[in-house]
């Protein structure tokens, strides 16, 4: 029993070590709690809409597959209201995805770069269904090369 606890503790330390070394965000007690922030980039003449936010999210890559969260179909919902508040809900390929918290943080950081974004909320929902049918064409080719052809 003690050996199991020690091995699990060591595993957690090894997984979190890179973020501590980089001085990045720390894993919270609940990695599925929404991340929130306020925009720091002044508004521009183009205005804020879901297309601009989606373009920013196309820059957020899954660290394992090296494809954007948009191509992977991980963006379950995206809402931009008239007050320039942005809310994003992300699905995960598996409920236990170890990259989920990092994807949520990267999503928040990408949206903060969109001019005019005010309040930003990013939430992971491990219970949302995901399947390979959500993949873009490019993502499907990458997925098939790694895992074999998915059922269609």
Per-residue model confidence as pLDDT tens digits over 22-40: 554 444 445 556 666 655 5
Tokens 């090894």, residue located: 14
Tokens 């949206």, residue?
111
Compute and round to an integer the Cα radius of gyration of the chain. 17
Q: Which residues of 19-36 are buried (b: 16+ CB within 10 A; e: fewer)?
A: eeeeeeeeeeeebbebbe
Which structure tokens are listed for 31? Answer: 């990695």
Contact 65, 141 (CB under 8 A): no
Q: Where is pLDDT greater, at 86 or 143? A: 86
Domain formed by 31-147, architecture: 2-Layer Sandwich (3.30)
Question: Over the stretch 47-86, which tens digit does the pLDDT of each residue have?
Answer: 788 999 999 999 999 988 888 999 999 999 999 998 889 9
d(CA 13, CA 19): 10
Would you say 117 and 39 are in contact if contact means Cβ atoms under 8 Å apart?
A: yes
Domain parsing of the chain, residue ranges: 31-147
d(CA 85, CA 21): 33
The crossing angle, in degrees rounded to 10, of helices 50-57 and 100-112 is: 130
Within the chain, how many helices (H) and strands (E) appear?
A: 4, 4
> Which residues on adjacent β-strands are paired with residue 89?
77, 123
Average pLDDT, the chain: 80
| Residue whose tokens read 């997984």 | 15
> How much is the average pLDDT of 3-31?
58
Residue 120 scores a pLDDT above 70: yes
């Amino acid at each position: 029993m003690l050996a199991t606890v020690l091995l699990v503790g060591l595993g957690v330390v090894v997984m979190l070590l890179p973020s501590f070394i980089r001085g990045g965000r720390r894993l919270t007690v609940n990695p599925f709690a929404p991340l929130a922030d306020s925009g720091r980039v002044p508004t521009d003449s183009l205005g804020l809409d879901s297309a601009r936010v989606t373009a920013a999210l196309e820059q957020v890559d899954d660290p394992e597959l090296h494809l954007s969260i948009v191509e992977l179909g991980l963006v379950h919902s995206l809402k931009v209201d008239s007050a320039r508040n942005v809310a994003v809900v992300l699905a995960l390929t598996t409920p236990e995805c170890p990259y989920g918290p990092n994807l949520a943080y990267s999503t928040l950081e990408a949206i903060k770069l969109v001019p005019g974004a005010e309040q930003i909320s990013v939430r992971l929902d491990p219970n949302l269904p995901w399947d390979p049918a959500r993949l873009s064409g490019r993502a499907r080719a990458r997925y098939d090369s790694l895992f074999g052809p998915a059922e269609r």
